[in-house]
Amino acid sequence: MKIAILGKPFGEEYEPFIQNLFDELLRRKAEVTVVEHFSLFLSNRINLPTGLGTFSRGDKLEGVDIVLSIGGDGTLLDTVTYVGALQIPILGINTGRLGFLATIAHDSINLALDALFKGHYNLDDRALIRVDSDQEIFDGINFGLNEFSLLKRDSSAMIAVHAYIDGEYLNTYWADGLVVATPTGSTGYSLSCGGPLVLPQTNNFVISPVCPHNLNVRPMIVSDRSVISFEVEGRSSTYLATLDSRSMPVDMSVQIAVRREAFVARLVKLHHVNFLTTLRGKLNWGLDKRTNIFK
């Protein structure tokens, strides 16, 4: 099995677990390649196997069977941009905080590897959001797993976002910004803006205003077959466009639209892990003394 590894720096408390990961991969005779910047970090923390391969952004990952993402959800979002249209399955190992996407705890690495090598897993295809614009914004990586946002700059007044669905006028959002989230992203920024939780396999986008100045404006669910386009006005000459964890200042004159990407992010789903269990655990649902009152 050929495995690519991406990751972000982690605390020393995780070093024994990551050392164990590489030792176990070596024992299983896996061919391993690590993204270059993470390999440099690891070389000062753990004992890496000899002959370890490295790669950088833009290098082709053909032939890779599984990609391991070591970090939090932000690391996994970045990993998706490396994989792109190849749709290589991604497994997230959580050395971060919340972990909606990176669901494998650091102390469950051996169980996860055993399931991988035995084929005891399913693939969970997640829709991506694509950004089209008349000027390049995101250096050619114009897709994301969570959300696309239009936001005011730090020091500016609110902005007005004129939104259209398939060319038909929807609304003008006088707000600090507007978020268009995928079902996966419904547990992220959109949720903090009052948006609904959406199950991963529903074919929708969630449009959520950020601090709207009209209190009767509420989040809205639309089909992900729609094309959502925007015109932005404000006192400033620029606003902030964000795609997952990437952000760029954009001139008000730039034309932007979003749609569903043609390919998906393929997440590894182990048999003992499911979305509803993760949802209850991460949002602390059921932490109520009445939960077992009728048992």
What does the pLDDT look like over 107-119, one tens digit per residue? 889 999 999 999 9
Judged against a pLDDT cut of 70, whether residue 294 lies above it is answered with: no
Q: Mean pLDDT in the chain?
A: 92
- Give me the percent of the chain exceeding a pLDDT of 70: 96
Specify the pLDDT at position 292: 64
Helices and strands in the chain, H and E counts: 6, 18
- Most distant CA pair in the chain: distance in Å? 61
Residue 254 binned pLDDT confidence (cut-offs 50, 70, 90): very high
Specify the pLDDT at position 70: 96
Average pLDDT over residues 224-232: 97
pTM, whole model, 2 decimals?
Answer: 0.91
Average pLDDT over residues 89-103: 85
* Burial of 192: CB neighbours in 10 Å, binned 0-12, 13-18, 19+: exposed
What does the pLDDT look like over 131-152, one tens digit per residue? 999 999 998 899 999 999 999 9
What does the pLDDT look like over 151-197, one tens digit per residue? 998 777 899 999 999 999 999 999 999 999 999 999 999 999 999 99
Catalytic residues: 73
**For residue 25, what is the enclosing H or E element?**
helix 15-27
Residue 290 binned pLDDT confidence (cut-offs 50, 70, 90): low
Q: Which residues of 121-155 are buried (b: 16+ CB within 10 A; e: fewer)?
A: beebebbbbbbebeeebbeebbbbbbbbbbbbeee
